[in-house]
Every structure is written in C-alpha cells, then in structure tokens.
Chain A
Amino acid sequence: MTLAVEFQKVSRHFGQVKAVDRVDLAIAEGAFFAMLGPSGSGKTTCLRLISGFETPTSGTIRIMGEDVSRTPPHLRNVNTVFQDYALFPHMNVRDNVAYGLMVKGVDKRSRLDRAEELLAQVKLAGYGDRKPGQLSGGQRQRVALARALINEPRVLLLDEPLGALDLKLREAMQDELKALQKRLGITFVFVTHDQNEALSMADSLAVFSEGRIAQIGTPADIYDRPATRFVADFVGSSNVLPPGLTRALGGPAAWASLRPEATRLSAAGPVTGTVTALRYQGAGTRVLLTLQGTDIAAFVPAGQPLPEPGSTIGIAFDPAALHVMEGA
C-alpha cells in the first residue's frame, strides 16, 4: 500500500516554540484523514508542512513516496482548500477555478471548459461569471473546492473547511465532502478543532497536543479507547476516572475512561454520589453526578426512571467498557 503522506521525525520550531515536534505520521492513499486538536496544538503547521508553506526544521516529509521536504509549494502535487477560502477577489468564479490550469499554460478554451465541468461537479453550474463577493459562504467554499481540484492533486488538504459555515450547512457539507472523496478516490487531509466533525467524517484521525500526536486511530479507537487523559478530555463526552475512583469501582489503580452510554445508574453501586443535574437529550437523558469529587455522566435511555437532582445514587457498568489509559 502506498502512503499518500509520510512524516519521519518531522519538527518545525519557531525560535523556542516547538510548533511541531518529532512527529511521525503515515496517511494511506485514498484515506479521509483528520488532524484534530485545540488551537496551537500543531495541526495547522502540519498541514502547512504538507502543502509546503512551512519547511521542516528537521525530519523528512514524503508525498506519494517522494521526498518533498525542501520542495516549494508550487511544485508539489497537493492542493489546499484554505480557511476563509482565499478566492481571488478580482477574478470571476470561472477564472478562479481555471487558475491552476492557466499558470500551467493550458489554452483558454480547454481550461475554461474544464472549470465549467468542475463547477458542475460542485453544483455551481451557471455561476462562472459571478465574482466571489457575490456568493454566499457555502458557494465560496464550493468554488474553493473546485479550484483546488482542477490540478487533479493526489492529496487534497482542507484547512478548517467547514469552520465558517452555519450548523445546517456544515452538516450538509460533511456528507458532500465525504461523497466527493469517495467518488474521486484521492486522499483528503483535513484540519479541524471540532471533534464531532473529525469523528463523523474521517476514516482515521490524529489527535494533536502541544506539537505532538497524542493518538492516531480510527474514530472508534479514539472514542472508545482514548490513549491519554488529554485525548479523553478533548474528544469529549467520555468520563475520565482518576486511579482512586477506578479502583473503588473495581478496576486497577490507574486513570481510565468510561463512556456515558456504557454507564448505568445503580442504587447498589460500590461508590455513591449526589446527582447534580439532568440534561434532556432527545434519545435519553444525561445524568450528572459527583463520585468522590469527580464529575461523572451516565446516559439513561428514554422511558427509564430518572433520579431526582440532589438524590444519592451509584453507577454500574460492564467491566469490558472500562478503558485503562496509559500514562497520567
């Protein structure tokens, strides 16, 4: 299997700041790969290392097997959908999309025809004569997508592609991007700070923290078996149990994670605590309680009895659902 993108001990330091620090990464060809992390975690710098706008301080970057560590952006066979899209304001939509072919010297007739084809692919046929300023956010995003695809890159990079869109549009675009990637069969690498977006779109993802990768895996790996407390906290919604509580609940004396969906309420639990809040969530209710000073969430499916806030109750779970994390 060919690797679309490969990092070997790649670092990018800005003075004292280690934006990316000794990162190893392998993205399979045809993957829909997400780089997830809070701002400042190094995910965007990693994307810019792939596109060539940053050069590594040390380490090797390969794209489709070829060492591109020192190759400038315009000679790399990757294209980017920029955050805020970065459409050329003085050109109409068709010329924006055709730009990549124009700078290659493709004649006007064929490049504009090809631009029209791509506009049709992103459902913007007939918009070629408009200026970017006359389009909505969602339309601009499609133009940016068509523009980035015209050079037929082997890897498409997307920098917070859905960040500027409203919720409804974002969900529709998620499905569309996923379908587009399937149809084109090229590798998509996208950066996001939104864990739901990363988990629902990606085949596999890397969670970044402080310039390093905290965990790489499938969404299920990351969600069910977070490697560290950081991943469990950031990917969210999982309960993080300190060693003392894990032990009191029947596990080893180590940090562990426990999904709310796997947590039941039980009056007979080994540890009991006070119910602090109930949050109705449609398919059920999330019950928040405090056990030995730690906030724990349990999910109660609709139709089952709910405790009163302030009452005392314990929890129970299938021992297999308890995931012990490495490190502290």
Chain B
Amino acid sequence: MLSDRASPGLKLAAGAGLAFLHLPILLIFLYAFTTEEKSYAFPPPGLTTQWFGIAWNREDIWPPLILSLQVAAIATVLALILGTLAAGAMARSRFFGQNQIALLLILPIALPGVVTGIALRSAFSMLDIPYSTWTIILGHATFCIVIVFNNAVARMRRLSGAILEASADLGANAFQTFRHILLPNLGTALLAGGMLAFALSFDEVIVTTFTAGQQSTLPIWMLEELVRPHQRPVTNVVAIVVFLVTVIPILLAYRLTIRGTEIAGGGK
C-alpha cells in the first residue's frame, strides 16, 4: 500500500531538486550587489548598491528595454484580439476539422523556438519583408495567441451556455451578447492570459534572435553583455528588472484565474 508520508530520502531529494532550481536565481540577485565587476567570485568580496545607479545611467540599456516593452505590449494586444476570437469559434460551435485547427492553434507553443524562428526567418526573406520591430512582434504573437486562446477557451467552456441564450432571448443581438455577457465573464481570464503573454514575450530570446535583425531586445542585450568583461553586475541589475517584469504578471495571472473559477461557476 502506498504511504501518505514521503520517506526522508524522497524529501531530501525533492529539497535538493528545488534548491538546484532556485539557488542560482538567488545568486543572480546577490551578484547585483557585488563590488567585483570582472568575474563572479564567490563569496562576493564586498556589497554595494552602486550598480543600480550605473545601470540607470548606461544609455545602451534604454533602447532594448523600450523595444522589449513595446514588442510585449503590441504582441499581447494582438494575441488578446485574435486569441479571443479563435476561442469563441472553438468553444461555441462545432465544425468540420475543428480538432485539427485547435491543434494548429496550440502548436506554436509546442514547437521548439528554433523551428519557429527559422521558419519565420525564411518566410520573411522569401517575402522580402525587412526585419523590424514588427517582425519581432509577429514572432512573439505566434505563441502569445496560444496563451490567450487557452485561457479564454477554458473559461468559455465553463460558462453556462444558458446565459448566452438568455441574453438572446431578451432581445440582444450577437454583438450585445458578446459585449454585455461574454466579455465581462471572460474578463479575468483575458487579463490573466494577457499578462502571461506579456511576460512570455518580454523575456523571449530564441524566436527573437531569428526575427530581430540588427535590433536588440533586453534579453538579447543581456546575452551580448555577458561576454564583455566590464561592469558585469549591471547585467544582474537588468536581470532583476526582467525577473520582476516577468514574475509579477505571472503571479497576478495565477491569482486571477484562481478567483475566476468562482466567478464563472456562479452562473448556475
């Protein structure tokens, strides 16, 4: 019979696994405060907050940061529109080839980034599309749509179909039903999906390297910075920024979807 309690060995192994996953992240934070700028010596010889000021004044950080925010914001908006529409089609009707199309919609997130990146790159060059902010946005939108789609479709399936019928019964046309009934009930799911999509886009590296051309997003700037020997802790400061911009939306999204289940379940 299976025991409810884990053995000490298993607990130890699980603890070690978690430590292996998360201690390096703590080191990143630690090295943002080190006085040593050329190598990551452990333990740090001294602690300082000067790198935050230096990072603020480094002019080469701002363009990648702004580009990353811009790309993430636009890719998220695109994903919200297209992902919601796709979810509407999938959840509310049955049609020929539906499962295949659903699979195609989800595929970009399952495909390795390298494959998506190469595919987009060759498509862009075949169509003579010059690399620009828009090519990065398109690359990111491929997987951002999936995130929004998945969130929206799950909520729509839980939503009682009867409330949409009730709306039509009371005289609402399709648009009014969408605006007054569907959208408010999808709200938190869309917000969560949008924030996750934003976070994913903000720290994406692989697809971006294939679609960015000469521009650098913040993660790519960090990769390039790692090979340079001076002012290394600045990279760690930026890493903290990326961490915060990514983790906070994901945590908020998690809380929203948890609470969303109660809201959507209240339909009956």
Contacts and interface: CB of A to CB of B under 8 A. Distances in A.
Interface of A: 51, 53, 72-75, 79-80, 82-84, 86-90, 99-100, 102-104, 131-133, 147-148, 150-151
B165 interface: yes
A72 B168 CA distance: 9
Interface string B161-200: 0110111111111001000110011000000000000000
Interface stretch (B6-14, B15-23, B139-147, B260-268): B260-268
A104 B163 contact: no
Query: Main SS of chain B's interface residues?
Result: helix
A84 B166 CA distance: 11
A102 B180 contact: yes
Contact of A103 (B162, B170, B185): B170
Contacts of B184: 90
A45 B172 CA distance: 22
A86 B160 contact: yes
A100 B267 CA distance: 18
Interface residues of B, number: 22
Contacts of A84: 160, 162, 268
Contacts of A102: 180
Contacts of A73: 165, 168-169
B170 A151 contact: yes
Contacts of A103: 167, 170-173, 176, 180
B267 A89 contact: yes
Contacts of A80: 165-166, 169
Nearest to B179: A103
Given A84-B162, A86-B267, 19 more contacts: A51-B169, A74-B169, A74-B171, A82-B162, A83-B162, A86-B160, A86-B162, A87-B267, A88-B163, A89-B266, A90-B263, A99-B167, A103-B167, A103-B172, A103-B173, A147-B170, A148-B169, A150-B170, A151-B170
Interface string B46-79: 0000000000000000000000000000000000
Nearest to B172: A103
Contacts of B168: 53, 72-74
